[in-house]
Amino acid sequence: MVPVKNEDEAIQVANDTPLGLGAAVFAQDVEKGEHVARRT
């Protein structure tokens, strides 16, 4: 897990890798989690 300050930073961290993208979103608010997952 990588702690982040906000949604934009989470997207940046998830997309900033030379090795490929693999991500999971954990959220108490399901709608917010789905929104973030669609942005990655």
The answer, yes or no, to whether residue 12 has pLDDT greater than 80, is: yes
| Residues 29, 6: Cα–Cα separation, whole Å | 14
| Residue 26 lies inside a defined structural domain of this protein | yes
From 18, 2, 15, select the one nearest 26 (Cα to Cα).
2
| Residue 1 lies inside a defined structural domain of this protein | no
| Residue 33 lies inside a defined structural domain of this protein | yes
Given this model, what pLDDT does residue 11 score? 82
Q: pLDDT tens digit string along 20-40?
A: 666 677 889 999 888 888 876
Given this model, what pLDDT does residue 23 score? 65
First CA to last CA distance, the chain: 16
| Residues 34, 27: Cα–Cα separation, whole Å | 9
Number of domains the chain contains: 1
The answer, yes or no, to whether residue 5 has pLDDT greater than 90, is: yes
| Residue 2 lies inside a defined structural domain of this protein | no
Burial of 4-26, coded b for 16+ CB within 10 Å and e otherwise, reads: eeeeeebeeebeeeeeeeeeeee
The answer to whether the pTM exceeds 0.95 is: no
